[in-house]
Amino acid sequence: MDYSALVEQRALIVDVRSAHEFATRHIEGSVNFPLSEINSKTDTWLKKGKPVITCCRSSARSVLAKSMLSTAGIDANNGGVWKL
């Protein structure tokens, strides 16, 4: 996957770690929606029509988030572990 091309397309980088983990360190420009909140945000992201890149500490949560978003019809991509 060419993540840089997705970022150029103004993809939304969604960090699915807890708010505490996100506060300690995160990717510049990313937004934080813990995995437990992903399903409540799908309508908002679908309306924006932008691709989404999910990321987390170990890739476990980002895989689940990508699956949830894809099921909702969102162009979702698992960024996995990004160097924070």
Q: What is the pLDDT of residues 40-81, one digit of tens each?
A: 988 887 777 889 999 999 999 999 999 999 999 999 999 988
pLDDT reported for residue 64: 96
pTM for the model stands at: 0.89
Asked whether residue 83 carries a pLDDT value surpassing 80, the answer given is no
What string of H, E and C letters represents the secondary structure of the chain?
CCHHHHHHCCCEEEECCCHHHHHHCCCCCCEECCHHHHHHHHHHHHHHCCCEEEEECCCHHHHHHHHHHHHCCCCEEEEEECCC
Query: Residue 39 sits in a domain of what CATH number?
Result: 3.40.250.10
Domain count for the chain: 1
Range of the structural domain that residue 63 is part of: 3-81
- The pLDDT tens digits of the residues spanning 22-39 come to 999 999 999 999 999 999
